Amino acid sequence: MRSQQVREDFVVPFLKQKQKDIDDILSNILKGGWEGWFQVELAMYMLTYLKFKGSFSREQTYYPNSGSNYDMMVEPNRGTKIYFEIKTQKGLNDSTTAYRLEKDIDKLLRLESSFKMKNVFVAFAITKLSNQKEYDEFMKMARSANYGPRLFAYDLHGNRLKNINKNRLTLLWFKLD
């Protein structure tokens, strides 16, 4: 399984189903963020709607002495483990989502190569970028960190975006594999 398949099979269908809930969360500016809710709801979606067979864990160490924790890990009964780094916008005025995603991408890039070869890694953010300038700044930051060619924006139907419509939920996806 590759990160594109994770996006198309798990994340995009889940976001479509939960779009109203996410809009409501952002509109009401839930203090403290909603990443934990997202992780639990994604796991429940995979179990209920996709009939996923396996286990989940949250906020654990990648491996001994890695010095880093993942946000969520999915371990199918058969197949490869999938590690998620997820960032969610903390409110409509939060402008740190891209910065926090960048930190997670850097964390993934620092993991041992042998560990990365055995597993699938997914890093993404769900945000409402307020305008094209904010999107351009995000992409400029990504390119300056040498991973811009692997960073993409999608709408909640899985369509790749070149421009951002104001206040549209957007999935910022980093392609590690």
The per-residue pLDDT for 12 is: 85
- Cα 162 from chain centre: 19
- pLDDT < 50: residue spans in the chain: none
The per-residue pLDDT for 131 is: 59
Query: What does the block give as tokens for 48?
Result: 């209920």
The position carrying tokens 């953010």 is: 125
Q: What is the pLDDT of residues 121-148, one digit of tens each?
A: 888 888 776 656 666 766 676 666 555 5
The per-residue pLDDT for 150 is: 67
Cα–Cα dist 82/141, whole Å: 26
Total Cβ atoms within 10 A of residue 32: 8
The per-residue pLDDT for 63 is: 92
The per-residue pLDDT for 146 is: 58
Q: Of 67, 169, 72, 160, which is closest to residue 119 (Cα–Cα)?
A: 72
